[in-house]
Amino acid sequence: MAFKGAILIAIYSFTGILVIAVISDAKLVLTGNISGSARIARHLWRMCLGLALATGSAFTNGLARVLPGPYHVPTLFFYPQFVPILLLIFWMIRVRVLGWKHGG
């Protein structure tokens, strides 16, 4: 069975994200401990990415199964999955560029 269209795009996207995570984990294992803003940034991108994937799945796949008959998911329901990505960009700039201070 050959994958086409959106399924193929999803497979490549998840594989790309997985490769980035594996490379960063391998780097962490080889270099040792991680602390400070690098640790917070690593935690942020993993949490926000997981939240974006869950939100996208809920609004575009899960919601479509509950809606009646031929009703399609409106384009508006695709936007909530980008909120965690926007939050990730904001917090990455705040943590990595502006500096992260523990306790405030």
Q: Which long-range contacts (CB under 8 A, 24 or more apart) does 94-99 make?
A: 95/37, 95/40, 95/41, 95/44, 96/37, 96/41, 99/37
Domain identity same for 67 and 101? yes
Domain identity same for 20 and 42? no
> Which of 52-56, 67-71, 86-90 is predicted with the least confidence, judged by mean pLDDT?
67-71
Instruction: Specify the pTM.
Output: 0.67
Domain identity same for 7 and 56? no
Q: What is the pLDDT of residue 104?
A: 52
Domain identity same for 44 and 79? yes
Q: What is the pLDDT of residue 19?
A: 93
Total count of domains within the chain: 2
Domain identity same for 48 and 21? no
Q: What percent of the chain has pLDDT over 70?
A: 85
Stretch 56-73: mean pLDDT, rounded? 72
Domain identity same for 39 and 18? no
Domain identity same for 41 and 84? yes
Domain identity same for 79 and 54? yes
What is the extent of the structural domain holding 24? 1-32
Judged against a pLDDT cut of 60, whether residue 11 lies above it is answered with: yes
